[in-house]
Amino acid sequence: MKAFVVEKYGKDGVRAAEVPEPSVGDRDVLVRVSAASINPLDKMVRNGEFKQLLKYKPPFVLGHDVAGVVTRVGSAVRGLEVGDEVYARPRDLRIGGFAEYIAIDMDDVAPKPASLTLQEAAAVPLVALAAWQILVDQAHVKPGQKVLVHAGAGGLGSTVIQLAKHLGATVATTASTDSEKLVKSLGADVVVDYTKEDFSKVLASYDLVLDAVGGANLEKSLTVLKPGGLAVSVVGPPDAGFARQLGAPSFLGLVMNVLSRKIRKQAKALGVRYQFFFMQANGSQLRELGALYDSGKLRPVIDSTFPFDQTPEAMAYVEQGRTKAGKVVVSMTPDSD
């Protein structure tokens, strides 16, 4: 089958290749891929940023989001059948959405939301799971709380805005002038145009800040939190919790704590908290999220769709910052929408 593999770590490490169709274990479903989507995590894994923790062995197939049709099921699989349309964020070390077929553990797979096309569904799993795990599992967001979402027009930000509103939060976001209408339509109550204003000068007393920018933006985010508030970053620096999550040796946890010492110290001085976030595959959560898409509480935001053969171009499009809003999808059938 055709796939896009990481032949070596680095920017130029991805190439098209013919690889064997994946073997199917007892708990696996084999999915014929209809569409996948591009995530910043694809670039990070391709560049080897987590290679001490996620020990991929090149060559390996890249791609963290997938939607498609089940073509085979393992002997222990229950609740999924050949012909089912599904979507998934396969677990770490078993990624591979940029291929014609992928074998996925049944616990990571869920039926595709009926209201979405396969191309739309491919844009959903990673960002929807991240939004759920940050807002529900990690921050325990409750009605009436205040949530600041940076980069609200992005794939993750646009999903977090919608889910936070569904949970009853008051939502602020940073966005460009061109994106203000979109983020308001997604439910943002307050929009700070980062091209004109400094969010830290106009926002205060927030319960949660989700940062996807990092650096000085993360440091300023600490200042808009109320005492005891939480800043969550998806771009780092990582902390010991990340190493524990991946089952890494304890010394790597110490390394992570060194990397995040500055921001944790700043947070402590302000009486707030900092945590790094790295999402986990979870098919049961995707089922819950699917119901929210089908009920209209959530909707995917898609910037553009590329044909599968142009997967490297789609990755470059995202890396170059050309995305205006939402996710970039690669489709096996680009004319089917």
What is the enclosing helix (H) or strand (E) of 273? strand 273-276
* Four-way CATH pick for 2-124+300-331: 2.40.110.10, 3.40.30.10, 3.40.50.620, 3.90.180.10: 3.90.180.10
User: For the chain, how big is the Rg over CA atoms in Å?
Assistant: 19
Residue with tokens 């990571």: 108
CA 311 – CA 63 distance, rounded (Å): 10
Q: Quick check: pTM over 0.75?
A: yes
Residue with tokens 């620096």: 237
- Asked if domains 2-124+300-331 and 127-276 share a fold, the reply is no
Q: Which tens digit of pLDDT belongs to each residue from 99-156? A: 999 999 999 999 999 999 999 999 999 999 999 999 999 999 999 999 999 999 999 9
C-alpha dihedral sign at 324, 330, 333, 337: negative
Supply angle C-alpha 238, 241, 243, rounded to 5: 75
**Of 143, 145, 113, which Cα lies nearest the Cα of 128?**
113
Topology, domain 127-276:
Rossmann fold (3.40.50)
CA 43 – CA 248 distance, rounded (Å): 21
Average pLDDT, the chain: 95
Tokens linked to 184 = 């308001």
Residue with tokens 């926002």: 203
Q: Which tens digit of pLDDT belongs to each residue from 292-304? A: 999 999 999 999 9
CA 202 – CA 210 distance, rounded (Å): 17
* Domain boundaries along the sequence of the chain: 2-124+300-331, 127-276
Q: Which tens digit of pLDDT belongs to each residue from 211-225? A: 999 999 999 999 999
What is the enclosing helix (H) or strand (E) of 46? helix 40-46
Which distant-in-sequence residues (6+ apart) come within 8 Å of 69 by Cβ?
Answer: 31, 32, 34, 83, 84, 85, 86
Place 253 in a pLDDT band, splitting at 50, 70 and 90: confident
